Amino acid sequence: MHPEILDHAKTWIEGDPDTETRAELQSLIDSSNTVELRDRMSGMLEFGTAGLRGRVAAGPNRMNRAVVIKTTRGLVDYLIDRHGGLPGAPVVVGFDARPSSRRFAEDTAGVIAAAGIPVAYFPEVTPTPLVAFACKHLDASAAVVVTASHNPPADNGYKVYASNGAQIIPPMDREVSEAIDQVGPANQVPRVESAFRVESELIRTVSPDLLDVYWEEVNLSRPSPETSTMKIVYTPIHGVGGEAISRLFERAGHHGLIPVPEQAAPDGTFPTVAFPNPEEDGALDLAIELAESERADLVIANDPDADRFAAVIPSEGSWRPLTGNEVGVLLGDYVLRHHGDAVRPIVINSIVSSPMLGRIAAHYGAHFERTLTGFKWIANAAMDLEDSGVGEFVFGYEEALGYTIGQTVRDKDGISTALVFADLMAGLRSAGEGVLHRLAQLWELAGIWASAQHSITRSGAEGQKVIQAAIRAVADSPPTSIGEFRVEDFTDYRSGAENRPRWLGAQALIELSLGDSGRILVRPSGTEPKLKIYVDLVTGFTADAQVEQSKLQARAEDLAASFEEMLPT
């Protein structure tokens, strides 16, 4: 075993306040597990996209109490430096249902309070959108939610919101990361022990009426409130959205909600699914089985922290999942169609989401923007545009099942989206229409669109090198054609950021324009060891739109696979 790795591991053990993870790391030393130990000790878990996310285990390159404590102290030091002293506003702390989440959240609250900064925490598991809402509602100096969202059961994460209620962006993420690097051993970081069980003027629970306040804002932002007795099967996939969804639907007058009993209670071990992501095959099988037996009208789902939303509709004797882009354009059209204010509406989607929303926005005279991937950019672009007098932000989405309606939450919000989608569907049913009929009407308005996504997984440090090499290869020698399509333009988002707004800053992203036929984008994932390829194709409207769209979808998927073959992966 390399002496440097061994010394690093022993030093980490000495500074780890948790007996279990100390023993876990020591066992790797005792068994001379060099490969695993090298991976565990290969730097601190990177504080990036929205904070931390990784496997729960011992060592600095994993999620554990020591990493959470050091990260929180770095955040505290940043906040103190930013305010020139202790901020008077609280830091909001929440957590999901994963087995380690409550303890990580309690350590987070303990470090913050020990520094003299007030804490407002959720005493029980809570949806991520409510933590983001509490950050805005309480004028907090920051918020932290311990969650790994839809990651596998072995993972956990640590998401940070800025004082504006949106996920952190540069330079705050970099400055917090630099502050974390300066923090000493975790067991030397001052911390209030058992912070959720002590009496302290600095530590208080978030008021239980917060959901009521949230409901009031959500209700005001509903574009066209409806009531219904539709049978709506709902699954939170063992996540934390069930109580909030049930209460909001009942208040709104949608009385046909049917939770999936096997998945209704929060359980961070996710016993009925291999991967708790509504986009994954099999994740909604139980919901669809229940919908068939109940002859339901709709299946809806949240991911485990309830910030994403998925919908499945009955179609020709089967069940058809709506893609993230389909839900996005349906909601975008719905919001704009019912927007009656004199202020010009603003709609935004991420750059890898369908350009179709831009055409719909143009039809309604709305202002349309696209941003880098990540809802933090959508939220900050919305605030920037409003501050500059462009108009009023009304809707944003990203194709990975993330949506927000209005100003209630400055992040994706699967709870309010579920309610508004139920309104949308109830309104269509009242008019004798269906979701697919409305989608066909939008194709007639904006062209028939098909979107495909293809991922190439390359794990580990060598995998990252391969992914970066693929990006460079496309940038250095962009293709002139791909399959039947000619590449007419090329944009390398790694450069030229000074000529773009901050929400389209420098990023490892390449866009290839196919002219009037669509576009291809390629980028590395921000949270997984993957290179992602996105294809969006468009064609003119025909009378047999559903058949034409199916053909276009197949072409988009073939094109994504063809593009992979051109890459050095």
3-state secondary structure of 26: helix
Max Cα distance, the chain (Å): 73
Residues of the chain with CATH 3.40.120.10: 3-207, 229-321, 325-445
C-alpha span between 491 and 493 (Å, rounded): 6
Q: What is the pLDDT of residues 261-310, one digit of tens each?
A: 999 999 999 999 999 999 999 999 999 999 999 999 999 999 999 999 99
pLDDT at 460 over 80: no
* Comma-separated ranges of CATH 3.30.310.50 domains in the chain: 447-565
Nearest to 80 by CA among 190, 198, 206: 190
- Predicted pLDDT at 264: 98
pTM of structure = 0.96
Quickly state the pLDDT bin for 568 (edges 50, 70, 90): confident
Inform me whether the pLDDT recorded for 318 exceeds 90.
yes
Which superfamily does 229-321 belong to? Alpha-D-Glucose-1,6-Bisphosphate, subunit A, domain 3 (3.40.120.10)
Whether residue 463 has pLDDT greater than 90: no
Is the CATH code 3.40.120.10 the one for domain 325-445? yes
Q: How many residues in total does the chain contain?
A: 569
CATH class of 3-207: alpha beta
3-state SS assignment for residue 457: strand
Structure tokens at 276: 């708790």
Q: Which CATH superfamily is domain 447-565 in?
A: Alpha-D-phosphohexomutase, C-terminal domain (3.30.310.50)
Question: Average pLDDT over the chain, rounded to whole?
Answer: 95
Please write the tens of the pLDDT for every residue from 491-521.
999 999 999 999 999 999 999 999 999 999 9
Q: What is the CA radius of gyration of the chain?
A: 24
Tell me how far CA of residue 312 lies from CA of 302, 512, 548, in angstroms: 12, 32, 21
Instruction: Give pLDDT, residue 237.
Output: 98
CA–chain centroid gap for 223, Å, is 23
User: Would you say residue 201 has pLDDT above 90?
Assistant: yes
Q: For residues 13 and 359, give the distance between their C-alpha atoms in angstroms, rounded to a whole number.
A: 57
pLDDT of residue 527: 67
pLDDT at residue 79 above 90?
A: yes
| pLDDT over 90 (residue 368) | yes
Residue 548's SS3 state is helix
Give CA torsion, residues 328, 270, 236, 434, to 10 deg: 50
Peptide bond into 479 cis (omega under 30): no
Residue 297's closest CA among 423, 414, 425?
Answer: 425
Q: In what order do the strands lie in the sheet with 298-302?
A: 257-259, 232-235, 298-302, 309-315, 318-321
Residues marked as catalytic: 149
